[in-house]
Amino acid sequence: MNSTPKDGIVLIVDDDDDILTAARLLLKKHVTTVHTENDPERIPSLLEKNRYDVIFLDMNFTRDMSSGQEGFDWLERILKFDPDAVVVLITAYGDVEMAVRAIRVGATDFVLKPWQNEKLLATLIAGLKLRRSRQEVLSLRSRQQILSADLDQPFHDIIGNSNAITQVFTMIEKVAHTEANVLILGENGTGKELVARAIHRQSARAGEVFMSVDMGAITETLFESELFGYVKGAFTDAKSDRVGRFEAASRGTFFLDEIGNLTLPLQAKLLSVLESRQVTRLGSTVPRPIDIRLICATNLPLQQMIDDKQFRQDLFYRINTVEIALPPLRERVEDISLLVDHFIRQYAQKYKHPAKRISPAAIEKLRLYRWPGNVRELKHAIERAIILSESTTLGPNDFPLPADKPQAQNASRDSLRLEDVERAVIKKALLDHDGNVSRAARALGLTRTSLYRRIKKHGL
């Protein structure tokens, strides 16, 4: 037999001392510790003192020499004490019926005596592996419970106590326990996905999947294959069936971000799915039912887009049972101090820097800035300051905000690089229109989609 790692602690319980001696001599070469016991009444005290990886338990003691009932009784008590115990029953009177019954009530395996040494060692090794697996699962489950308890705080990562954000919390609490479709409106960087996740965590679907799809990142050609799935042979590269995201999210929450970026043809396809609650994979004619809770988000003025014939009114009503409008950061400046403290702790820990303070002058500077990028922009500003500052206190100079660089507004005169000019002009348009992409696009003579691509390109 191949050698195995010498670890683990084993208990053997049998009223025959010769059996105990033979088993101990065989198994002690393969585990760290072997305990033997000829009196089953001492099992409870042994279990209180030790955590055994494998327990070999005789089924027949002096009280009952053949039925195995005493072994079953002790098996039940062991499993009650340690539900993850690995118990292997041994007997000289075994048969298939007794083996099946033993495994049905919780035994891991069943061996007959006199045993073959190879068989007993193989049973030991399998039992040790099973015990480790169970312990790993238990550890992962415990960690998941701890993480879930942390993540499932009512509004995890949505920081603030201003009236504006408190109203958002109230809306989340009201809508979360319903199945209503929710539309989240807000500028870029206001935390729309955080709100969607908070709704999911407080809903009846919290134990199921939260599927997030950025509509601005899915091209028109990939829309159906990504969302609806496909069957083998549907197109050249379809080598096997693939489940679409709608099916993968079934029984959970489906979050469609940037839904305002969908073209009218794709809006029609999405509406059809939402109305029928069915998807048909590409290359198939068989509709498949889906069960999702829908949450959508956009930074675009959908009502105005409806007037301009750019967004379907019937789709708008379908996704907009309840609307939650997120305030921009400039409308809740009283939350900036809380946000700053949160991000300082977060990034000091991430980059293993000592804890830093922030000066009142720096806080005031941050409160006076308009934050066109909202919380996301503030977060990046804090991260940069944590990385670059060598002081234990962050001051105003650690935050070189655009207002400190008036020359950027004149980039068209001072720079010959087209990219610099474009970036400066787009930034100014966004500032002038308080971060509203639609109004900035109109002022620049661009479509929303074109401006959206340039914003991503320049990291604005």
Tokens of 87: 């118990």
- Same-domain status, 370 and 293: no
For residue 385, tell me if it sits in a domain: yes
- Same-domain status, 280 and 194: yes
- Same-domain status, 105 and 189: no
In the sheet that holds 87-91, the strands lie side by side as 33-37, 9-13, 54-58, 87-91, 109-112
For residue 211, what are the β-bridge partners?
254
pLDDT given at position 155: 55
CATH of the domain at 423: 1.10.10
Q: Which of 45, 74, 10, 26 is nearest to 91 (CA)?
A: 74
pLDDT given at position 358: 95
- Same-domain status, 20 and 95: yes
DSSP E strand stretches across 220-275 = 229-230, 242-243, 253-257
Query: What are the residues whose beta carbons fall under 8 Å from the beta carbon of 242, sequence distance 6 or more?
Result: 225, 229, 230, 281
- Same-domain status, 366 and 419: no
For residue 186, tell me if it sits in a domain: yes
For residue 153, tell me if it sits in a domain: no
For residue 303, tell me if it sits in a domain: yes
- Same-domain status, 173 and 315: yes
Query: What are the residues whose beta carbons fall under 8 Å from the beta carbon of 422, sequence distance 6 or more?
Result: 454, 458
Burial degree of 41 (CB within 10 A; 0-12, 13-18, 19+): exposed
Per-residue pLDDT tens listing for the chain (460 residues): 444 456 789 999 998 889 899 999 999 989 999 999 999 999 999 998 888 999 999 887 765 555 668 888 899 899 988 888 999 988 776 566 776 787 888 899 888 888 889 989 999 999 999 988 887 776 666 555 545 544 444 455 789 999 999 999 999 999 999 999 999 999 999 999 999 999 999 999 998 889 999 988 888 888 999 999 999 888 888 888 888 999 999 999 999 999 999 999 999 999 999 999 999 999 998 899 999 999 999 999 999 999 999 999 999 999 999 999 999 999 999 999 999 999 999 999 999 988 889 999 999 999 999 999 999 999 999 999 999 998 999 999 999 988 544 444 444 444 446 677 788 888 888 877 767 778 888 888 888 777 877 887 776 7
Strands 242-243, 229-230: pairing is antiparallel
- Same-domain status, 110 and 249: no
Domain boundary among 293, 327, 361: 327
Phi then psi for residue 65, to 5 deg, are: -85, -10
CATH of the domain at 170: 3.40.50.300
How far apart (Å, rounded) are the C-alpha atoms in residues 32 and 68? 30
Q: How many domains would you assign to the chain?
A: 4
Tokens of 9: 């602690």
For residue 316, tell me if it sits in a domain: yes
Domain boundary among 327, 346, 372: 327
DSSP 220: T
pLDDT given at position 418: 67
Give the alpha-carbon dihedral of 339, 342, 346, 349, to 10 degrees: 140
- Same-domain status, 416 and 387: no
Query: What are the residues whose beta carbons fall under 8 Å from the beta carbon of 85, sequence distance 6 or more?
Result: 52, 55, 78, 79
- Same-domain status, 128 and 228: no
For residue 156, tell me if it sits in a domain: no
3-class DSSP state of 429: helix
pLDDT given at position 283: 92
- Same-domain status, 356 and 428: no
- Same-domain status, 308 and 423: no
CATH of the domain at 376: 1.10.8.60
For residue 158, tell me if it sits in a domain: no
Domain of residue 345: give its range.
330-403
CATH of the domain at 73: 3.40.50.2300
Half-sphere exposure in the Cβ direction for 175 (13 Å, CA):
25
For residue 30, tell me if it sits in a domain: yes
pLDDT given at position 406: 42
- Same-domain status, 362 and 388: yes
Domain boundary among 144, 172, 207: 144
For residue 357, what are the β-bridge partners?
393
